[in-house]
Every structure is written in structure tokens, then in C-alpha cells.
Amino acid sequence: MRLIFMGTPDFAVPTLRALVAHGHEVVGVFTQPDRPAGRGKSLKPSPVKVAAQELGLKIFQPLKIKTPECVAILKELAPEAIIVVAYGQILSKEILAIPPHGCINVHASLLPDWRGAAPLHWAIMAGDKITGVTTMQMNEGLDTGDILLQAEYPIADDTTTGELHDALAQLGAQLLIATLEQLQRGELTRTPQAGPVRYAGLLKREHEKIDWSRSAQVIHDQIRGLNPWPGSYTTFRGEMVKVWKSRLPQADREQELMPASLHQSPAKPGEIRQATRLGLLVQTGDGLIWLTEVQPAGKKTMSAHDFFIGRHAQIGESFA
């Protein structure tokens, strides 16, 4: 098919590569303008632009996709369909109407669940056990278009957002190819969205701070849900500390490491109860949690045990 591709981050790259590998004619790639990055603030191209350059595709980087000039370019390219994967700009009704087969989006959730900008993070932070990807016929709403195809993906108890991102990026590429194959055969059906809706809004600083009064399970889901970006954090002796990895105690294999006194003696949320090579065992508002990998401000990531030793910390001290 003759296609235009719109996307920006790493998540979109496998889909772009799959389109080319399966023989589709990608007549234009639209991605966000180069942005300042790093300490030197030099301009950095998006991952999609880098991939498009490698594939020898024509690249467009409009600051705003809705301008008359951009609309004219899209019409001149005459795509049969426009493929959109995490592009980062909202398409106008005029653009949606350009291709005869419309605009098809790859979204990293099982719509209508987790509409919005950060479905991967929120699925893990909510403790979901199943997520997936959806191909959707785009309309003017926020992820409200008809469902084309869906594929489920299980979320393990220790899955991070980074791991889920990589898995769903590949799954999304496969699902989009299957969607186009059915479209070309005239077998593709559209299903209006129905059922409960959750919104995956933009992450804010308030979502990153660990509240030790919450349960161990909720904190663990927060930590893995914000790994590798933007990261959860706490403070120790007034110093900000990122927490990258944690796990929940498993009584069947850790009983000897967790004497009964840990459960019987009172402790306040955030208090360090034990320090071993496994990490730091910390009290929460409901249960205990192992912190295994942390990063003090301005330092490299390290094991939680090394952090404890390096700070000459004591059992009974607390994270704020």
C-alpha cells in the first residue's frame, strides 16, 4: 500500500521498519522537529527520523501538522492510508479525511482501557496483569476511534515499563502488518469501543514521589512502572534518592531472613528494618518491601546495600 508514516519515539520504530520490510510504499515520514538534548543542548533527531534516514525515506518535520502548507503536502503525497504511532501531534479532521482508508493508529493498550499519553506506565502502576496493543481507525477524539485488531500481552509481577515498552513495540508492529493485510483483502471490520474507560494522563512530579504510608504492593508497582523513566524517588537524610528496582518478600523462601521480630515490633513507614546483600527491607503502610537498586542524586545507579554501607546508615533510620 501507498502509505504515510507519522511517529517520533523508539516505540514507533519497529512499526516503520516492518512496513518497509513487508513491501509497503512509505512515501513520507512525518516526525517531530529535532530537539535540544544533553548538556550541550545540541539538536538531536527523533528515533523515527534516524530510522527513516537509514531506510532512505523522505522525511518531513513540521512544527505544526495542521498548517495549510502541511495539509497540501499530505494531499500531494496521496497516501492510501496514514499510519500513526506516538507521533505527538493531534491530526485535524481535514487530515483524517485525506487518505481513502483513513488514519490508522497503533496504541499501547487494550482500548478503551488506558486512553491517553502514558498507557504503559499507568498499566503497571495500577497493578494490571494483562495489557496489549490496539490498531484503531482514528477519529477526532482522544483514542476513541473504532477498534480494528487487538493483541493481549501478560504483565509479570516484576515487569518494568521499559521491558513492556520493548515487547509492545514489536507486538504493535506485527499487529499493524496484520491489520493492513486484512484491509487489503477486504476482511477488516471496525468495532466501536465499548466498556469501562481509564485515562493514562501525562506523568507529573507528584506521581514520582514514594509515599511510604501506602502498601508495599502499590509502592512496588510505582517503582517498576516508572522504570526507566522518569523514575520514582524518596529522600534519605535530606538527600534525594531515585529508586529503580524493588521486589516483594516471598515468605516461602525468605522466612529465615525475616525473623518473627520484624513482624511483631512496631515500625513507622519508610523505616529500614534490615540490610543484606538482597537489599534494604523497608517498612510500608502495609507490609515490607525490598529496595534493591537505587541512585543518589548526582551519582551512578548502585545496589541498595552498597548505598546503605556507603552512607554508614543504621537499621531504624528512615526514608522520608
| pLDDT tens profile 278-289 | 999 999 999 999
- Cα distance between residue 45 and residue 245, in whole Å: 30
For the cut 70, the answer to whether the pLDDT of residue 258 exceeds it is no
For the cut 60, the answer to whether the pLDDT of residue 12 exceeds it is yes
Comparing CA positions, the residue from 85, 90, 70, 114 lying closest to residue 7 is 85
For the cut 60, the answer to whether the pLDDT of residue 25 exceeds it is yes
Q: Is the peptide bond preceding residue 259 cis, with omega within 30 degrees of 0?
A: no
For the cut 60, the answer to whether the pLDDT of residue 260 exceeds it is no
For the cut 80, the answer to whether the pLDDT of residue 265 exceeds it is no
Sorted by where each begins, the domain ranges of the chain are 2-200, 205-310
Q: In sequence order, what are the residues at sequence separation of 6 or more whose Cβ sits closer than 8 angstroms to the Cβ of residue 42?
A: 36
Which of the two residues, 24 and 264, has the higher pLDDT score?
24
What is 2-200's CATH topology? Answer: Rossmann fold (3.40.50)
Average pLDDT, the chain: 95
Proportion of the chain above pLDDT 90, given as a percent: 93
What is 205-310's CATH topology? Answer: Methionyl-tRNA Fmet Formyltransferase; Chain A, domain 2 (3.10.25)
Predicted pLDDT of residue 119: 98
pLDDT tens digits, one per residue of 69-120: 999 999 999 999 999 999 999 999 999 999 999 999 999 999 999 999 999 9
For the cut 50, the answer to whether the pLDDT of residue 173 exceeds it is yes
What is the mean predicted confidence (pLDDT) over 27-32?
A: 98
Provide the whole-model pTM: 0.94
Residue 61: Cβ-neighbour burial (10 angstroms; 0-12, 13-18, 19+): middle
Predicted pLDDT of residue 257: 58
2-200 and 205-310 have identical folds: no
Predicted pLDDT of residue 40: 79
For the cut 80, the answer to whether the pLDDT of residue 243 exceeds it is yes
What is the mean predicted confidence (pLDDT) over 47-63?
A: 98
Predicted pLDDT of residue 39: 78
Residue 185: Cβ-neighbour burial (10 angstroms; 0-12, 13-18, 19+): exposed
Proportion of the chain above pLDDT 70, given as a percent: 95
Q: CA angle 90-142-30, nearest 5°?
A: 30
Predicted pLDDT of residue 38: 80
